[in-house]
Amino acid sequence: MQPKSIHIVVDLLQETQAELGKGNSDGARFFLDEAVRIAKNRATTAQLDLEQKQQLYHWLGTCHDALTQLQKQDEPKGIPLRLKIGWEAKQIAS
């Protein structure tokens, strides 16, 4: 695994959450699409155990659901998300 890949996914998901909080669906879509693209690569998740993969995919899914909800709003107000992945990306890359 490239040690930085999982860090990049976590950073992108944090940026997605920030954009969702601002009500910026275009920004959130950009960061989420990049996070999904990198997370789909088997090398990115190769060293994650099953529980860590489930938490990562839950975070991706929750961000996607929030983005869908934001896009359905007539006047985007923002959707604050304060999700944490439950483990540190540093633990995986070491």
> pTM for the full model?
0.81
CB 14 within 8 A of CB 21: no
> How many whole angstroms separate alpha carbon 88 and alpha carbon 94?
11
pLDDT (tens digit per residue) in 37-94: 999 988 888 888 888 888 899 999 999 999 999 888 877 788 887 776 665 655 544 3
